[in-house]
Amino acid sequence: MVGHALIQTLALVIGTAAVTTVVFQRLRLPVVLGYLVAGVLVGPYTSVWFVADEGVVATLAELGVILLMFSIGLELSVRGVMGVGMGAMVATVIEVGLMFVLGTVVGTAFGLSGKASLFVGAIVAISSTTIISRSFDEHPPPPEHRRRVFSLLVIEDLLAILLFTVLTAVGKGAGLGWSDLAVTLGKLTGFLIVTIAVGILVVPRLVRATVALGRHETTLVLAVGLCFGLAILAERAGYSVALGAFLAGALTAEAGENKRIEPLVEPIRDLFAAVFFVSVGMLIDPQVFADHWLEVLVVLVVVVGGKLVAVTLGVFLAGRGVPAAVATGMTMAQIGELSFVSASIGVASKILPPAWYAVAVAVSAVTTALTPTLARRGPTVAAWLEPRLPRRLATFAALYGSWIEALRPNARRATVARSRRRVGLLVLDALLLFGVALATGLLLEPATRDVSRALQLEERLARILVIAGAGAVAAPLLLGLARLSRSIAIAIAERALPSRHGLDLGAAPRRMLTVALQVPILLVAVLPALGVTGAIAPPVAAVMLVALIVYEAWRVWRSAGDLDAHVRAGAQAIVEVLSIQSRTRAATEPSHDPNAPAPPPGIVDLTEIETVLPGLGTPTAVRVAATSALAGKTLGAANLRGLTGATVLAIQRGDQSIAVPSAADTIEADDVLALAGSSDAIGAATALLAPDGPLAV
């Protein structure tokens, strides 16, 4: 009977999923959304024909989670993580940190406990690799955009595992005192250390030896056996099977045979991942949505709006231009499978109310449906937004990428080596601040009771007093983080834009770069503590986050004004150079030394501008081709900055020069446009202005 129940459930679930998948493919809708609809069709609350066996489906769904986490582990080898680059790591930490803080504040605002709010923070923090992958398969993006998104997703998945590790410990410590919870964390740390230490010695060697046999089925059986073996080991130790499966994947990846193992595991993973999403759809209860529509709406706004802002900010601060940052933010504005795992850990540990699992499902379903449209509209929205930025911010956005680009890996390493002591102190301060926040959360209730009894105060006043005391302890640490982050930012800015003796004309851009670099350094340092604070005292966390953002935004705005004045002076100098070159080029060309190096065809030599006025990137002048689609359009209509991220500093039209042109100025054929921006932005702008290749100047 059990066997028949399994076969009947598989037939019902997979058959329904197959039909809905075909229909959704024909309708050009996300396949994952089709799986959720299949779950609705066979679920206990909304079934239109037969109801699938919930117990069997839950077991099959757990298989899907195990194989999914194993696949994530395969992609997150140590070498894979290190290969994504520091920029992707910084961008992802900022994004996940901001979303986690927002999630904890929202959870506490709806009356959840501090521990439950941590799970809400994890639910909204992680985008869905599966949903984005399926969207990209159906609508392939440019290769560079795909690489950028998946670099962020790799780090997101790693941070998700760290969150699951902490949340698992919190779940096991539910209802215990702070000392018991500390012991639980210690045991979990010991389990991880022993498992990784033994596994790194055994698993890679075993995998390589098996692959060397050359039999695919043997390799597949070993990989899946390791996956389920470590999953059971973690479960027997009292932890999540997802954690064990992830460790199995990461240890297997260290063998360096991913290209042979992943294609073998992928079909099985996809099958059970489909069952997993169907099981999620089975949990959709319209009555729960009706009762908790406000939670669904608020979390939906937080996920879509928060991801758009957080991802865009993180990617931009990592050195990418506004178009790339906005397009990436719109692609990652959803939650999915890992959010369900977070919710299931919280519900299973009886910390998170079951209704919040349904809230996560509803938000994921809506954002899944929105993802393809948002991803396709990303470049259009970026092109619309860029020309509407205030001029000083647009100028800063165009030049910031070129400054970050100037920090080559060897320069970054040298800067870090020189600032090692300051970086160490920054990390120490950040850890201490996180410790203060965590200790406050663990000791808040007993400390409140003790203070209330000792001072004969109401519990509400005693709670405020305890939080204020924690704030007094944290204040010097925050001040130290502000000073250290500024010191490190100054050192990096000095490397990108070295100061000069005498009249330092690069002071304005260096000051702007210092302020801009301090923002991500400070965010990375304080966001973990803010996330914990959001679960303890959401108003305090919200006020601190808003105050930090407003203060840094004011500093950016003020410094951007000085930068804009610097750029205007640079534009005047460029106009003079272009005018001189325009008048003298014809006369000097016949006597030009044929052995002397010449600037590339179509590019006017403006290197002397960077020497005189540093901080303008590498100003590049390009002659507009008659075949350019932008010829005859105004700068506003052409939207060159919105399409490419490059900004026009000056226009030379015969003997006429236009410094700092406005949106009403026209681009004419044979105009020479002086452009500023990163190399990618300049390359994209050149392709639009001279589509047939560089023109002779």
- Is 653 part of a structural domain of the chain? yes
pLDDT in the model for residue 587: 47
Looking up residue 610, the CATH number of its domain turns out to be: 3.30.70.1450
Residues 377-415 pLDDT 10s? 887 888 787 777 788 887 888 788 778 777 765 455 555
- pTM of the full structure: 0.77
pLDDT in the model for residue 185: 64
**Phi (first) and psi of residue 675, to 5 degrees:** -110, 150
pLDDT in the model for residue 49: 62
pLDDT in the model for residue 307: 92
3 state SS of 673: strand
CA distance 416 to 430: 17
Total count of domains within the chain: 1
- Is 611 part of a structural domain of the chain? yes
User: Sheet holding 656-659: strands in order across?
Assistant: 603-604, 620-623, 672-676, 647-653, 656-659
- Is 400 part of a structural domain of the chain? no
pLDDT in the model for residue 301: 93
- Is 412 part of a structural domain of the chain? no
CA distance 552 to 482: 11
pLDDT in the model for residue 416: 56
Return the residue matching tokens 């959720």.
36
Residues 34-63 pLDDT 10s? 888 888 888 777 766 666 676 777 777 777
pLDDT in the model for residue 447: 81
Q: What is the mean pLDDT of the segment spanning 274-284?
A: 77
For every residue of 198-241, which 3-state class applies, written as one string?
A: HHHHHHHHHHHHHHCCCCHHHHHHHHHHHHHHHHHHHHHCCCCH
Residues 350-371 pLDDT 10s? 888 888 888 888 888 888 878 8
Q: With bands split at pLDDT 50, 70 and 90, how would you rate the model's confidence at 652?
A: confident
| 286 Cα distance to chain centroid | 32
Q: With bands split at pLDDT 50, 70 and 90, how would you rate the model's confidence at 603?
A: very low
- In eight-state DSSP terms, residue 390 is -
Q: What is the mean pLDDT of the segment spanning 676-693?
A: 77
* Residue 585, pLDDT above cutoff 80: no
First to last CA, the chain: 83
pLDDT in the model for residue 398: 77
Pair 526, 427: CB distance under 8 Å: no
Q: Is 344 exposed, middle or buried (0-12, 13-18, 19+ CB in 10 A)?
A: buried
- Is 665 part of a structural domain of the chain? yes
With pLDDT > 90 as the criterion, what percentage of the chain qualifies?
Answer: 2
- Is 109 part of a structural domain of the chain? no
CA distance 420 to 425: 9
pLDDT in the model for residue 80: 54
- Is 277 part of a structural domain of the chain? no
Contacts of 222 (CB under 8 A, 6+ apart): 206, 207, 210
Pair 626, 669: CB distance under 8 Å: yes
pLDDT in the model for residue 297: 92
- 631, HSE (Cβ side, Cα atoms, 13 Å): 18
Alpha helices in 537-626 (DSSP H): 538-588, 607-612
Pair 617, 403: CB distance under 8 Å: yes
Task: Kindly report which listed range (282-286, 491-495, 559-563) carries the lowest average pLDDT score.
Answer: 282-286
E strand or H helix at 597: none
Residues 236-261 pLDDT 10s? 877 677 778 888 888 888 887 777 88
For residue 642, what are the domain limits?
603-689
Pick the most confident of 220-224, 285-289, 449-453, 625-629.
Answer: 220-224
Average pLDDT, the chain: 78
| 560 Cα distance to chain centroid | 25
- Is 618 part of a structural domain of the chain? yes
| Residues pairing with 651 in the sheet | 658, 673
